[in-house]
Structure 1
C-alpha cells in the first residue's frame, strides 16, 4: 500500500508522547522525574495512547538514562496507558539484561509495556565505549542481538541453560526504531512495528517509511505494516508565544552541534542574538519540520504530516522549559487531534 493510500483523518489515529525527562536550568533530576510523572498522568487523562522514554547518556539536560527505571515510575502513577522505551539502545546492553528488565516490568504492569529498540549509542563515542566496555558491539550485530533478545521471551527458542526469568513466555511488543533505512528494512523483514525519528531526521522520513511499507512481510505479530513517526510539537494559544517557547528546543540542539550540551534553557525573545547564520541554516534544515503554533496551526500541520507519511500513529516530543506551558501544549494537541 502506497503512502497516499494510507492517509487518514487525524482523529482516526492514536497520538502518543515521547519524553526525555528534561532537566531544566535551575532544576534537578528530582524535579524532572516529578514533572515526568505529572505529564504522564495528564497525558493519560487527555487520551494519549502511550508514553515512551528515551535512553540518552552523558547529556546534562536529559534525565532518562536509566530508562527501564523511569518506565516503572511512569507505569506506577498511570492506570491504563501503555508505557515503554523510545528506545532502549540495545548495543549498550546484554540482551539478557533487557529481557529480564522488561520481563519484570511486564510482570508488574501486565499488557502495558512496550519495548522499543534502537541500535545507536544515544550518546558520544567515548561514553558509548564506557557503556559497552567488554561487549565490543558497535551496533553492526544489532540483528543478532535482536534475535537473541526475542529468543529469551520465547520458551520454544530459549537456551534451557540461560533463561530470562521473569521474561520467558511473556508477550511484550517489540518495536524497531530508526533514523535511517537500516531498522526500517529489518522491521519489514521481521514483520515488526516501526517507529521513525522524524523529530531529528526529517529528510530521511519518507525514504525510510517507503522502504518499510514496500518490503513488509506479515508475521505472527502484524498482518500489515504499523508505523509511528515522532514530531517536535510546540503549541500555545498564540503563535508568538509558541515561537518563543520553541527557542528552548532550538538552544538545546544548538548546544549539541556546538558540542556543549547543557541543561534545557529558558526561552529567549531573539535567537539571532545567539546563533550564527551558519548555525541557523543547519538547525532550520534539521528541525524546520517542527510544528510550532496555535491550535489551528498545529491541527493543520499534524494532518499534513499524517498525509505525507501514512503514519499509523504519531508521537509528540515537546521540549518546553516551563512545565505548565508544556502541559498546556499537550492539552492543545489533544483538543485538536484526539477524538473524545
Structure 2
C-alpha cells in the first residue's frame, strides 16, 4: 500500500461561545498546526445559512489569509458554489492566489443549493438556476484558466499573471456519477464525499480504476483522487463520543473513536475504496478537541 495522505475540510463550525472572528483566528491556528503535522491540504467549504454564529459564507477571501500564514500546506475552497458566482472573477482570484502563494492553491467546485433569498442577492434569478447553470459555469472557469492563448488571441482577455501557474481544479461529488464525467471532460481532479446526506457508500473500486484509465488516455497524466469523511478522534472512544454528544449537524458522522480505530478504518478505506488521500472533516467543536483529533490521527498514520 502507498502511504496515505491526510488533508482537512473545515466548515467553520466551532463551539457557540466563540464569535465569528475568534473562529477565523482559530482556523488560522488550526491550519498552522496541521502544516506542522504534515497534513496535505486544508479546504474551506462555502455555505449560506441563516445562522448568527456563521463563521463565513464565501471563504475565498480567507484563502490568501491562511496561505499567507503558512508555507507548504495546500489551501483551497471545496467547494465554491459556482452557480452563484461569476466564473471570470473566480478564475481571476484563484489564479492570482496560486501565483502569489507558491502554486499551492486548490479550487474545488460544488453544485450545492442556496435559498431563494441568497439567489436573489447573487444571480438575481430563481434558485433552480444555481443547479442548472453549474455545468456551464464550471466549464467556463476551466476554459478561462486553461486556454489563455486562445482567450488572448481571440478576445484580448488575460487572466493575470499571463502564463502563470493554474490552481489545482477539483470536481466534487457524493459518488462517481456526474463528478467523474466532468473530471474526465475537463481534466479536473476528483473528490468524493461520504459524509453528505445521500452519499454513495459503495466502494466502486473498479469504476475508479476505469476512470483513471480513461482520464490518462485523454490527458496523458494521472488524476488526483481523494475521499472526504467526517468524525472525531480522541484519546479514548468514550471521550470521542462525548465530543459529538448533542451535535446537530446537517450531515452524517462517519467515524468516532480512538486513534487505533482511526488507523484501522482509514487503512480499510484505502484498501476498499482504492484511494490514497483522505480528507478529514473534524466535527469536534472545541479548539482543543480539534487539535487533539488531528494530532492523534497523525500519530495513527505515522
Q: TM-score, normalised by structure 2?
A: 0.87
Q: 1:42 aligns with which of 30, 33, 52?
A: 33
1:192–1:222 Cα contact (<8 Å) kept: no
Q: Is the partner of 2:200 in helix, strand or coil?
A: helix
Q: Is the partner of 1:195 in helix, strand or coil?
A: strand
Q: Is the partner of 1:296 in helix, strand or coil?
A: helix
Q: Which residue of 2 aligns with 1:295?
A: 259
2:95–2:166 Cα contact (<8 Å) kept: no
- The alignment status of 1:120 with 2:112, answered yes or no, reads yes
Q: Is the partner of 2:158 in helix, strand or coil?
A: coil
Judging changes above 3 Å, is the alpha-carbon distance between structure 1 residues 295 and 23 closer, same or farther for their aligned structure 2 residues? closer
1:295–1:332 Cα contact (<8 Å) kept: yes
1:190–1:217 Cα contact (<8 Å) kept: no
Q: Deviations over 1:156-208 (max 9, x none)?
A: 23252443334764321111111242112211333321001212147414377
Unaligned 5+ runs, structure 2:
none
Judging changes above 3 Å, is the alpha-carbon distance between structure 1 residues 305 and 240 closer, same or farther for their aligned structure 2 residues? same
Q: Which residue of 1 aligns with 2:171?
A: 176
Q: Which residue of 1 aligns with 2:186?
A: 190
Judging changes above 3 Å, is the alpha-carbon distance between structure 1 residues 134 and 220 closer, same or farther for their aligned structure 2 residues? same
1:321-332 superposed matches below 5 A: 321-332=285-296
Structure 2 distance, partners of 1:149, 1:219, is 23
Structure 2 distance, partners of 1:132, 1:219, is 37
Structure 2 distance, partners of 1:54, 1:203, is 17
| Higher RCO (CA-CA < 8 Å; seq separation 6+) | 1
Structure 2 distance, partners of 1:63, 1:213, is 38
1:1-340 superposed matches below 5 A: 8=1, 12-60=3-51, 61-121=53-113, 123-133=114-124, 137-153=129-145, 154-158=147-151, 159-166=154-161, 169-180=164-175, 181-201=177-197, 203-206=199-202, 211-215=207-211, 216-218=214-216, 223-247=221-245, 250-253=247-250, 287=252, 290-337=254-301, 339=302
Structure 2 distance, partners of 1:71, 1:191, is 23
1:192–1:221 Cα contact (<8 Å) kept: no
Structure 1 distance, partners of 2:126, 2:198, is 32
Structure 2 distance, partners of 1:167, 1:118, is 27
1:88–1:116 Cα contact (<8 Å) kept: yes
Q: Is the partner of 1:157 in helix, strand or coil?
A: helix
> How many Å apart are 1:147 and its aligned residue?
2.5
> How many Å apart are 1:75 and its aligned residue?
0.5
Structure 2 distance, partners of 1:64, 1:19, is 11
2:95–2:160 Cα contact (<8 Å) kept: yes
Q: Is the partner of 2:23 in helix, strand or coil?
A: helix
Structure 2 distance, partners of 1:184, 1:126, is 31
> How many Å apart are 1:59 and its aligned residue?
4.6
Q: Which residue of 2 aligns with 1:258?
A: none
Q: Is the partner of 1:72 in helix, strand or coil?
A: helix
Number of residue pairs matched by the alignment: 294
Q: Deviations over 1:94-148 (max 9, x none)?
A: 1001011112211321211111111223x33442343321598333343332222
1:298–1:333 Cα contact (<8 Å) kept: yes
Q: Is the partner of 1:170 in helix, strand or coil?
A: coil
